[in-house]
A and B are shown apart, each in its own frame.
Chain A
Amino acid sequence: MNEGNVFPVDFLADYAATILRCGATTVRTEKNVQRIAGACGYHAEINIYPRHVDVNVTNVGNGKNTTRSRAIPDWEINFSTITALSRLSWRCHDRHPKQEIIMRQYRRIVNARRISSSAVISLTALANASFCRLFGGDYASMAIVLVATACGFYMKGNLCSKWKLDARAAIFMAGCVSAILSCAGYVFNIGKTPDVALATSVLYLVPGIHYLNAASDLINRHYICAICRFIHAGIMTICLSTGLYAAMTIMRIGLTH
């Protein structure tokens, strides 16, 4: 092993695992890693698997190469981190900063805080209420969806972070609770579009970004990653659909007997 390769290969493996965890597409991950390696005088090849990533770095000068493998933690979509890491790759390409500066900036990006959970809950509830309006729901249905979404989203966050519940179970339970709450329109005769309220109450759980990343990976011919993301997103969709199905069965919505 060439000891001179240790910095770029370790850093690039961590970088690749982090950006993939945040929901970057395979094409962006490849381009960013190769851009940083090129700026440091190396050539990088990257193998992306559903749960792992391998980075192989070759010293352009002497031809020696080193490989590192990293596990990709559970996906946690974070476009702010993807943006900052992409910008870091261009900074390496254009300005060739020292290793310490690159590492310092990388650590700052990785440790950056997310948008506060209360703001996310409020915006998501507003988003789903707007969704209800787009599907032809009236203002009473929008208010029901707003409350149902806020409760479901808050519950999902707590089930995952505090109770460490599996994400699939959390999605099922959040979907079920949101759907039951949104049945208020049927139960108390509120508004004229209770069906729209019920239909839109679980849409905040749709894993749209995973579907889109899968399509992007498919076009980039990363078929294994694409299929993996499709299956992951499909399972999430099945979980939320099952939650909706369970809620409709409990509340006797759509059943005549």
Chain B
Amino acid sequence: MLPIIEDCFFAAIAAVGFGSISNIPTRAFYGCAFLAAAGHGTRTLLMGMSCISIIWASLAGSIVIGLLSIPVSSHLKTPAESMSYPALLPMIPGMYAYRTINALLQCTEPSPDNILIHNLCTMSYNGLVCTIIILLMLIGVTIPIFFFDKYSFSATR
């Protein structure tokens, strides 16, 4: 696992890049980088130090992003979702998605039953973990915005 500082640094760069695709306001880039570093750093810390699974660590990371996005958006006068959404993207479980596709590809090959069953299990496991992580991340980042709607929807005032 990457040292925590390096992890936060690369998460921030990734969030800024994804923010540029969504054309976020210039000042929101700072908030986006900060939120991504905080969220991804939280996930890495929980997985490394507390041995929490990637599923619950991702939920915790997304909640941190969602909660922090409220004061940051009020400070930078931009909608919370313009920073929290790109900041969440570095936590996408890309390797699980890749392993799912890879196992699917291997399933299409003629192979003995035990290898086919192994590939099917690999595909199901990785696909399920990937889907659950994404669903929990969506919930984790969205709930705080609705919970503190008075603040999150008046940030641009």
Which A residues fall within an 8 A CB radius of B?
Answer: 23, 25, 27-28, 31, 77-83, 86-87, 90, 94, 114-115, 119-120, 123-128, 130-131, 133-136, 195-196, 198-200, 203-204, 206, 208-209, 211-212, 214-216, 219-220, 241, 244-245, 248-249, 254-257
Which B residues fall within an 8 A CB radius of A?
Answer: 2, 6-7, 10-11, 13-25, 28, 40, 77-79, 81-82, 85-86, 88-90, 92, 94-95, 97-99, 101-102, 104-106, 109-110, 134, 138-139, 141-143, 145-146, 149, 153-154, 156-157
Q: List 17 A-B contacts (CB under 8 A).
A: A79-B24, A79-B81, A80-B23, A82-B79, A115-B20, A126-B13, A126-B17, A127-B20, A130-B10, A134-B14, A199-B99, A208-B18, A209-B86, A219-B146, A244-B98, A254-B105, A257-B110
The answer, among A87, A199, A208, for a CB contact under 8 Å with B88, is A208
Q: What A residues does B82 contact at CB under 8 A?
A: 79, 82-83
Given A79-B23, A127-B18, A255-B109, also A215-B28 (CB < 8 A)? no
The reply to whether A248 and B102 contact each other, CB–CB distance below 8 Å, is: yes
Q: What B residues does A212 contact at CB under 8 A?
A: 81, 85, 88, 138, 141-142
Among all A-B residue pairs, the 4 with the closest Cβ atoms: A127-B17, A199-B98, A79-B82, A215-B138
- A244 CA to B13 CA in the complex, in Å? 24
Q: Identify 18 new A-B residue pairs, CB closer than 8 A, beyond the known A77-B21, A83-B156, A124-B18.
A: A25-B81, A27-B153, A79-B24, A79-B28, A82-B82, A90-B156, A90-B157, A94-B157, A136-B2, A196-B95, A208-B92, A209-B22, A209-B85, A245-B101, A245-B105, A248-B101, A254-B105, A257-B110
Q: What A residues does B19 contact at CB under 8 A?
A: 79
Specify the chain A residue showing the minimal Cβ separation from B73.
Answer: A83
Residue among A80, A114, A249 with the highest chain B CB neighbour number at 10 A: A80
The reply to whether B20 and A206 contact each other, CB–CB distance below 8 Å, is: no
Q: What B residues does A216 contact at CB under 8 A?
A: 81, 142, 145-146
The answer, among A86, A123, A131, A200, for a CB contact under 8 Å with B20, is A123
Given A90-B154, A127-B13, A212-B138, also A23-B101 (CB < 8 A)? no
Secondary structure at chain B's binding surface: helix, strand, loop or mixed?
Answer: helix
The reply to whether A130 and B20 contact each other, CB–CB distance below 8 Å, is: no
Specify the chain B residue showing the minimal Cβ separation from A90.
Answer: B157
Given A123-B16, A130-B90, A212-B138, also A78-B10 (CB < 8 A)? no
The reply to whether A130 and B139 contact each other, CB–CB distance below 8 Å, is: no
The reply to whether B23 and A114 contact each other, CB–CB distance below 8 Å, is: yes
Specify the chain B residue showing the minimal Cβ separation from A121.
Answer: B20
The reply to whether A211 and B134 contact each other, CB–CB distance below 8 Å, is: yes
The reply to whether A120 and B79 contact each other, CB–CB distance below 8 Å, is: no
- A125 CA to B13 CA in the complex, in Å? 10
Specify the chain A residue showing the minimal Cβ separation from B24.
Answer: A79
- A83 CA to B104 CA in the complex, in Å? 42
The answer, among B10, B21, B81, B97, for a CB contact under 8 Å with A133, is B10
